Structure 1
Amino acid sequence: MPEIIFTGPEGRLEGRYQRSRKENAPIALILHPHPQFGGTMNDKITYEMYHLFARRGFAVMRFNFRGVGKSEGEYDQGHGELSDAATALDYLQSLNPTAPFAWVAGFSFGTYVGMQLLMRRPEIVGFISVSAATNIFDFSFLAPCPSSGVVINGTADKICSPDAARDVMAKTRTQKGRRIEFQTIEGADHFFVDHEQELMDAASAYLDRRLGEPPEGLLFED
């Protein structure tokens, strides 16, 4: 799990990278929660998502947004953080030039950045979004969503209402053949305290099912 430093839009960005032992492995980028509320790449859920993809043979990276840890720059309301994520994906692809596809996973603020990123990058074929902050950030940019994925919220989340998240995702249009699934973890709060394993079991089950299917570009050809 080597530390990496790469050049971002506002200076260096700090990350952790796990290469795959497989040739032509897919890649995954993991995005952490809000930088102004203690979010870092070492957040427990971000860390566990990182290892979830690594165990399935992905080349995977998590990194600190600008102004967090050793990453340079200042918080930029999500705009600069999206640029950070795009640069991180470029860097991850440069390390894995034959990767057939990419996934993105985000937690809270990371879902907002990650789902904007997938709108811009057709190589992202799947996503896992945890505690989607739909009542804090505007998700209307998903018009339509180009990739299938899962959104997982806790039923006791008092920061981002699961009902609000469910409603937003239910109303979100998707491209032909794509689907956004919504799941809840009973009794879990925004941070999934005492419910981390249930969260990871749900994320693992979704990822395993998707990896057992043909890639979206093949599955939904006309």
Structure 2
Amino acid sequence: MPEVILTGPEGRIEGRYQPGLVPRAPVAILLQPHPAQGTMNHPIVLALYQSFVRRGFATLRFNFRGVGRSQGTFDNGIGELSDAASALDWLQQFNPEAHTTWVGGFSFGAWIGMQLLMRRPEIKGFISIAPPANMYDFTFLAPCPSSGIIVDGENDEVVPPPAVLKLVDKLKTQRHITIEHQTIPGANHFFQNEMVELMAVVDGYLDMRLANGGR
């Protein structure tokens, strides 16, 4: 889990990077929650990172501007999207022959991740955990260009499940993509007592997609 320092729009970006197991390995970038909720070391982000690493992906997680050793100040999503784009550029620079790209994020990071996939057609899959559909505008997903999974908690006190369901229903009307949706019984926004159940859903979805060649 080597530490890496990237150059972003505001200077230094602190990250952790695990190279892929084989040449042309797929790549994955994982995005932290809002800085008020955590860093790239948040348990959910770390679990996502480890899930992709176990499957041989070249995998990167990093701190947004103003978090940890990353330079800059919080920018309400605009600068953070630029940070994510720079981090993906860095990841692809070291993996120019990667055959597919995935993005995963938790809460605020899920919102940034879904904006990133709208701008980067090479992203073929996403994992969006507790996307803050009641707090931020998701209308940019018109249409959503990639298949993926959205996971939320039944007792999410930050993002009410009906807000997530509304987003899922909108995305499911689009052709040529498949949006999976799973609600974890009893889970709050942070899945504090349901991490095992959360990652079982994520791992099952990843294995299903990878068995189909990532499609």
1:28 is aligned to: 28
Question: Pairwise mapping of residues 66-215 of structure 1 onto structure 2 (< 5 A)?
Answer: 66-172=65-171, 176-215=175-214
Alpha-carbon offset, residue 173 of structure 1: 6.0
Alpha-carbon offset, residue 151 of structure 1: 0.3
1:14 is aligned to: 14
SS of the residue corresponding to residue 6 of structure 1 reads strand
One-letter code of the match for 1:142?
Answer: L
Alpha-carbon offset, residue 171 of structure 1: 1.3
Alpha-carbon offset, residue 38 of structure 1: 3.5
One-letter code of the match for 2:117?
Answer: L
One-letter code of the match for 2:37?
Answer: G
- Distance change in 2, residues 1:173/1:154 (3 Å): closer
Q: Deviations along 1:1-44, whole A, 9 cap, x unmatched?
A: 11000100011100000011211100000000001x13200000
Decide which moves more: 47-56 or 171-180.
171-180
Q: Deviations along 1:94-137, whole A, 9 cap, x unmatched?
A: 11111011000000000000000000101100000101100011
Equivalenced residues, count = 215
Check conservation: 1:143, 1:173, Cα contact below 8 A. no
Gapped regions of structure 1 (runs ≥ 5): 217-222
* 2:49 maps to 1:47: no
SS of the residue corresponding to residue 100 of structure 1 reads coil
> In 1, Cα distance between the equivalents of 2:194 and 2:93?
36
One-letter code of the match for 1:66?
Answer: R
One-letter code of the match for 1:130?
Answer: I
Alpha-carbon offset, residue 214 of structure 1: 3.5
Q: Deviations along 1:61-94, whole A, 9 cap, x unmatched?
A: 0000000000000000100000000000000001
Alpha-carbon offset, residue 174 of structure 1: 6.4
Alpha-carbon offset, residue 176 of structure 1: 3.4
Check conservation: 1:4, 1:15, Cα contact below 8 A. yes
> In 1, Cα distance between the equivalents of 2:214 and 2:56?
16
Alpha-carbon offset, residue 215 of structure 1: 4.4
> In 2, Cα distance between the equivalents of 1:178 and 1:19?
29
CA RMSD of aligned residues (A): 1.1
One-letter code of the match for 1:109?
Answer: F
> In 1, Cα distance between the equivalents of 2:174 and 2:9?
31
- Distance change in 2, residues 1:104/1:72 (3 Å): same
Check conservation: 1:119, 1:142, Cα contact below 8 A. yes
Check conservation: 2:172, 2:179, Cα contact below 8 A. no
> In 2, Cα distance between the equivalents of 1:199 and 1:134?
19
Runs of 4+ in 1 over 4 A off after TM superposition: none
- Distance change in 2, residues 1:148/1:59 (3 Å): same
> In 2, Cα distance between the equivalents of 1:38 and 1:111?
13
One-letter code of the match for 1:10?
Answer: E
One-letter code of the match for 2:153?
Answer: G
